[in-house]
């Protein structure tokens, strides 16, 4: 297993501003994923980040709104840009680990936009 951490754990932001969420893993991983979990809902994949290449975004998510960086094999950031109250959610990173590339999640960042 690995230790996956996220910063910040929670934040309250004003609409129109941006927040950058960090995800750190204590071992090198090829693929990192960013999910959104709205209150009481399931997990929705935002994008997949492979080190050294552009992130791959899912339908309904665009790079201008959710820019992602993946500078090395242990770190990634997700920025939520020009926030609105509809962006209030939990944002989780996950990584593929293990012989069978199972996905494990970070603790999440709880974002509230006022």
CB of 106 to other proteins, least distance (A): 7
Q: Which tokens belong to 11?
A: 């934040």
Q: Between 75 and 104, name the residue whose CB sits nearer to other proteins.
A: 104
Least distance from C-beta 20 to other proteins, angstroms? 20
Nearer to other proteins, 81 or 108 (CB): 108
DSSP per residue over the chain, as a string? Answer: ---EEEE-SEEEE-TT--EEEEEEESS--SEEEEEEE-TT--EEEEEEEETTSPPEEPTT--TTTS-EEEEETTEEEEEE-S--GGG-EEEEEEEEETTTTEEEE---EEEEE-
Q: Which is nearer to other proteins, 36 or 87 (CB)?
A: 36
- Least distance from C-beta 42 to other proteins, angstroms? 5
Pick between residue 14 and residue 42 the one whose CB is nearest to other proteins. Answer: 42
Least distance (Å) between residue 90 CB and other proteins: 9
Sign of CA dihedral 60, 39, 75, 104: negative
Q: Which parts of this chain interact with other proteins (CB under 8 A)?
A: 30-31, 33, 41-45, 48, 50, 92, 96, 100-108
């Amino acid at each position: 297993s690995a230790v996956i951490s996220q910063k910040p754990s929670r934040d309250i932001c004003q609409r129109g501003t941006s927040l950058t969420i960090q995800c750190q893993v204590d071992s090198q991983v090829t693929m990192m994923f960013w999910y959104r979990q709205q209150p009481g809902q399931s997990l929705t994949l935002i994008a997949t980040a492979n080190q050294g290449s552009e992130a791959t975004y899912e339908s309904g998510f665009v790079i201008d709104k959710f820019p992602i960086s993946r500078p090395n094999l242990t770190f990634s950031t997700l920025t939520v840009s020009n926030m609105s109250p509809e962006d209030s959610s939990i944002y989780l990173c996950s990584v593929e680990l293990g012989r069978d590339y199972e996905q494990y999640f970070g603790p999440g960042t709880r974002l509230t936009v006022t």
